[in-house]
Structure 1
Amino acid sequence: MDRRPILIHDARIVNEGVTARGYVLIEGDVIADTAAGDAPAALMQRDDLEKIDAAGRLLMPGVIDGHVHFRDPGLTHKADMATESRAAVAGGVTSFIDMPNTRPATITPDDVAAKRERAAEVSVANYGFFIGATDTNLQQLLDADWSLTAGVKLFLGSSTGNMLVERREVIERIFREVPALIAVHAEDEATIKANREAVVARYGEDLPIAFHPVIRNHEACLKATQTAVDMARLTGARLHVLHVSTADELRLFEAGPVAGKRITAETCPQYLLFTDEQYPHLGARIKCNPAIKRPVDRDGLRYAVANGLIDVIATDHAPHLPEEKEGTALTAVSGMPMVQFSLPVMLELSKEGVLSLEQVVEKMAHNPATLFGIERRGFIRKGYYADLVMVDDDVEPYPVTPESVISRCGWSPLEGAPLSVRVDQTWVNGHTAYRHGIVFATARGMALRFSHQ
């Protein structure tokens, strides 16, 4: 079905390190033109255009969230690709990459293809998927279609889904032989086990949530990340370290442009917001793996984001039902929903001076596109897909409420926290996917295509 071209004018466009007033013309799926300044009179006079006056609001490339758990298949009582992709576009996230610890786990090329087929039916956002590593599926990894697979997810520490890989010979073969990005969940399982046994022996099993970062501590993170970095340097593999949670790990990474890096790092909004001082108040709502840790870790990660040691921001969006979040440090499940509010949160941190507007876009759109080799996305450029988000960054503070949460789980760790940034409109491949509080559920994303180097 033909669509009218769209002209977005008088926008503050944040793109490629510059914020400037300008316009974007969308024709079909792509950006047909963009420039700084006033839209040309010839465009403004065209009757066939849908004209959108941005009135000075921010216009950015859509966010690419490279780390989500949409729970589909097998865990859809918590979430599925339909509900979570709707939450994504409501937060300005136009593309997501989903993790393999579903039921069944995504550990074969056929599993990845089945997820793509499901996403094509229901996802409002663009979609990509990791294939998961196990102790026995190396051949399946080698058989993957890497143009349609984001990379290999390797668990060096146990988490939801029980996909832990512990055998060093298997890990080394994955690093040596897989011709694609290897994304690691880096926590040392032996350290976690020893910590758990020591804490239980001293305090019993009825442990408050504040013991979570004692069990999954700094040593567990640093040891596993050091192992992964050493392996990548030994083999020349392309390594991406997920959800970095400690200041200790930062010495293992190098600052600089993401293009050409062989070792890159991610952190998440929750590690930039919360600290262990908030466990007594927020409890299991902020229980995640790796654990949220000390104020010094939060501050170190903020510095690292602003100074290029951390390359991307992703959410590790991991919804659970409220009743599943009840319990102790040993029994309450780990994970939280963040995809709907990650961009507003990061823009709030920009207002606080933690990083610049341009760095928010770099970490959430440009760098994910470059890091994963995603074709024609992540930038506002002529000929690129029209994945865009318009944001009002000057609204009266409003609270996050359960009623505003689109994720199926129905809650957010941000509830009650005031935000002064609001996503107004999101376009996915030139289609309106979200506008003024309404998700256009008939919009459909596309499969992301990847180039591994």
Structure 2
Amino acid sequence: MSSILIKSATIVNEGKIVVSDVFVKNGIIEQIGPNLSHPADKEINAEGLHLFPGCIDDQVHFREPGLTHKADIFTESRAAIAGGITSFMEMPNTVPNTLTQELLADKYAIAARTSAANYSFFMGAGNDNLEEVLKTDPHNVCGIKVFMGSSTGNMLVDNEKTLEGIFSQAPILVATHCEDEATIRANAERFKEQYGDNLSPEMHPLIRNAEACFISSSFAVGLAKKYDTRLHILHISTAIETSLFDNTLPLNKKRITAEACIHHLWFSDADYAEKGNWIKWNPAVKTAADREAIFQAVLDDRIDIIATDHAPHTIEEKSQTYSKAPSGGPLVQHALIAMLEFYKRGKISLEKIAEKMAHSPAICFQVDKRGFVREGYWADLVLVDLNKPYVVSRENVLSKCGWSPFEGEVFGSTVISTIVSGNLVYENGQLKDGIYGKRLAFNR
């Protein structure tokens, strides 16, 4: 589609809400203003709808290659678009782990053929691939991922010399999963001695506790300060960790940034009794006090980005006993409408949602010409009806795994249309086939 004219949209962008028209041509936002009359291939009447910049999710696990019985780039990118996420950054703990430049290139090739959304992939760091990590191109790769906590295969980086090498030499942003493995193992042994095989999901935040998170996060912050590393700590899950981050600098000047995920903003340990393994994540969902502290840190800009850590597993896998059930769950389809529910409850503004889910990821990762509704930028746009309820059920879940931790939830808002790089890919519940996103570029 070469041109789209969006009429009378309520645009949420850069701290303001205004009613205006938007004209898109050849993938780019060509003009924003009232009463535009350009001839267009497609005209959308957006009266009464809110137009957001497309969300940029800086942490997803789309499971391809090697784990495609759970998910793949095709299915999960479509679920993301249905949820208003137009760009994603995917993690390296696939099979094989993305520990070489060749394996990284393979993932980009898959996405070029199959991804409905715009895409980027993290280069993975292991204990013995520093040379490969340092070859990463800052201009077309989002960052380097370091698991400072248990993960798949050889992706736990627990060698201090290796960590020093990564933090001192990394050519681009280093994103970390921070949980102290020694603390978690000691806690797990203690619980097994006491309860044997009768461990339950309620014990998950006690085994993977706040201490494990803070030990690792504070260690990462210390390394980053020592080497002036561009550090981004993912999925903050505790109140104590929020003390590690600063809100006195503008985002584009920060060297250390942080992310909060939807599940840590929505659920608490009180929900394990009902949800069980369906809300088992690493790091664990913790107390209501932790949840409120994370939310406050989002509002006061100590935490910079809201993302999903979308990590599907099959229903069969999640239905196992606590000890056997894997951690993670699908969230891309419902992340934006979950945040809009918080808006309806008076907890966050629309402008702040646009900031944390679109503007800030673009600034944090220095994404080229995305994340804003601006003339000359790529047209990644989402139209939302704030007054149209949406009920989550297994029948309307688009992730390949076929379930959601939000099943039964009645959200007050619905994603109506999603435009990716100027293409209308999703409209009124229908995804269009044969349209693919673009590889993200970075101004570094």
What are the equivalent positions in structure 2 for 1:29-48 lying under 5 Å apart?
A: 29-35=27-33, 38-40=34-36, 43=37, 46-48=38-40
Shift of 1:316: 0.2
Quick one: which amino acid aligns to residue 49 of structure 2? Answer: R
Tell me the SS of whatever aligns to 1:259: helix
Q: Are 2:263 and 1:270 equivalent residues in the alignment?
A: yes
Q: Which residue of 1 aligns with 2:410?
A: 418
Aligned twin of 2:347: 354
Unpaired runs of 5+ residues, structure 2, are: none
Shift of 1:160: 4.2
Q: Find the counterpart in structure 2 of residue 297 from structure 1.
A: 290
User: For residues 167-209 of structure 1, what are the alpha-carbon distances to aligned partners after superposition, in whole Å with 9 as ceiling and x for unaligned?
Assistant: 1111011000111100000000000000001111111132011
TM-score by length of 2: 0.98
Match of 2:357 among 348, 364, 371: 364
Pairing 1:75–2:67 present:
yes
1: CA distance between counterparts of 2:422 and 2:359? 18
Deviation track 1:9-39 (CA, whole Å, cap 9, x = no partner) reads 111000001011111100011000113xx32
> Of the candidates 164, 176, 190, which is equivalent to residue 198 of structure 1?
190
How high is the sequence identity, in percent, across the aligned residues? 48
The 10-residue stretch of structure 1 (93-102 or 322-331) with the greater mean CA deviation from structure 2: 322-331
Equivalences, count: 443
1: distance between equivalents of 2:217 and 2:244?
8
Q: Shift of residue 430 of structure 1?
A: 0.7
Output the amino acid matched with 2:437.
G
- In structure 2, distance between residues paired with 1:39 and 1:299: 43
Partner of 1:241: 233
1:163 to partner: Cα distance: 1.1
State the partner residue of 1:399: 391
Output the CA distance in 2 between the equivalents of 1:134 and 1:379: 34
Partners of 2:118 and 2:152 lie apart in 1 by 24
| TM-score w.r.t. length of structure 1 | 0.96
CA distance in 2, matches of 1:238, 1:309: 16
Shift of 1:6: 1.2
SS state of the match for residue 299, structure 1? helix
C-alpha deviation, 1:326, in angstroms: 2.1
User: CA offsets per residue over residues 323-357 of structure 1, 9 Å max, x none?
Assistant: 10123332111000000100000111111122110
Q: Secondary structure at the match of 2:75?
A: helix
- Find the counterpart in structure 2 of residue 27 from structure 1: 25
Preserved CA contact (<8 Å) 2:126 2:154: no
Equivalent residue number for residue 105 of structure 1: 97
What do the CA deviations read for 1:238-278 (whole angstroms, capped 9, x no partner)?
A: 00000000011000001153111000000111001100001
Aligned counterparts, 1:330-345, within 5 A: 330-345=323-338
Tell me which amino acid in the other structure corresponds to 1:15.
N
Which sits farther off after the overlay, 253-262 or 133-142?
253-262
> How far off is 1:298 after superposition?
0.7
Aligned residue for 2:294, secondary structure, equals helix
Q: Deviation of residue 359 (structure 1)?
A: 0.5
Preserved contact between residue 86 and residue 441 of structure 1 (Cα < 8 Å): no
Amino acid of the structure 2 residue aligned with 1:132: G
User: What CA distance in whole angstroms lies between the structure 2 residues aligned with 1:328 and 1:216?
Assistant: 17
Moved more, 378-387 or 203-212: 203-212
Paired amino acid for 1:340: Q
Aligned pairs for 1:277-288 within 5 A = 277-288=270-281
SS of match in other structure, 2:253: coil
Q: In structure 1, give the amino acid aligned to 2:52.
A: M
Shift of the alpha carbon at 1:302?
1.1
Deviation, structure 1 residue 113 = 1.0
Q: Is the 8 A contact 1:402 1:415 kept in 2?
A: yes
8 Å contact 1:211–1:329 — kept in the other structure? no
Match of 2:213 in 1: 221
Task: Say whether 1:261 aligns with 2:254.
Answer: yes
Partners in 2 of 1:399 and 1:345 — Cα distance?
12
Q: Residues of 1 paired with 2:275 and 2:40: CA distance?
A: 52
Name stretches of at least 5 consecutive residues in structure 1 with no aligned partner: none
Structure 1, 323-332 or 378-387: larger mean CA deviation: 323-332
Regions of 4+ moved over 4 Å: 46-49
Counterpart residue number, 1:9: 7
Q: What is aligned with 2:303?
A: 310
Residues 4 and 131 (structure 1), Cα distance of their counterparts in 2 relative to 1, 3 Å cut: closer
CA contact (8 A) 2:2 2:27 kept: no
| Structure 2 counterparts to residues 111-150 of structure 1, below 5 A | 111-150=103-142
- What residue identity is the alignment partner of 1:364? M
User: In the TM superposition, what are the counterparts of 1:372-451 in structure 2 within 5 Å?
Assistant: 372-395=365-388, 397-451=389-443
Alignment partners' CA distance in 1, 2:71 and 2:403: 12
Check the 8 A contact 1:108/1:144 in 2, yes or no.
no
The code of the aligned residue for 1:320 comes to H
**Aligned match of 1:177:** 169
Distance of aligned partners of 1:95 and 1:322 in 2 relative to their CA distance in 1, 3 Å threshold? same
